[in-house]
Amino acid sequence: MTIAPDGRSLLGDVVRLDRLVASDIDPLYAAIGHEEVYAGGFGGGPAGLPADVDQMSDQWVASSAQRVAYVVRLAADSALGAKGTVVGTSSLGDVDLANESVHLGWTAYAPAVWGTVVNPACKFLMLQHAFDYCGFGRVKIQTGLTNTRSQAAIAKLGATREGVLRRHKRLPDGSFRDTVVFSILADEWPDVRKRLQARISG
């Protein structure tokens, strides 16, 4: 049986994911409220960058009903920062229980942790929750066609590139995004899990 994500905390050695609440917006804005984060396409691109904490809070309230949004914190003191430091956000949404499908997305990290173990550690916890606890058969991950950095990161997870949805989403500046769609299937998860565990431990 497939069940929907329930927002429970997901804890690993590197990061901890807790359901995003209003009190997390201040530290989240400090972590990701930067031009370089939105330049890659997060939040609809540069025009989607909130001007302040209040605007980010309004954006979160408007979209939180459609997905389970997590705040990503460091799980222990490390070279990346102190335990509990907020370093990003990610979500599980577009839940389709009948077709055993969920979308892992809405992901952004502080530039200081780009290229580190944070992303694979975060993806491991979320994919483990989606496949092993919720019982999904397919996890979709997608990004903009121009966001080559994100495409490379998704491919490195072991996800399969399915194709491009042309003129898929209107962005805050009025233009349209072409979206590259990837997926991981339940029978592919064991290999993806091993790959992620190796990256995290290495």
Q: pLDDT-derived band of residue 165, with 50, 70 and 90 as boundaries?
A: very high
What is the percentage of the chain residues whose pLDDT exceeds 90? 87
H runs (alpha helix) in the chain: 25-32, 35-39, 53-63, 118-128, 148-157, 189-201
pLDDT value, residue 182: 98
Q: What angle do CA 71, 122, 17 make, to 5 degrees?
A: 30
Average pLDDT over residues 34-47: 91
Provide mean pLDDT across the span 58-84. Answer: 92
- The mean per-residue pLDDT over the stretch 54-76 comes to 91
pLDDT for 160: 97
Q: pLDDT digit string (tens) for 171-201?
A: 888 999 999 999 999 999 999 999 999 999 9
Residue 77 banded pLDDT, cuts 50, 70, 90:
very high
7, with CB counted inside 10 A (0-12, 13-18, 19+), is middle
User: Hey, what CATH class is 10-201 in?
Assistant: alpha beta
User: Could you give the count of Cα atoms lying within 13 Å of 188 in the half-sphere of its Cβ?
Assistant: 14
- pLDDT grade, residue 9 (50/70/90)? very high
pLDDT at 40 exceeding the cut of 90: no
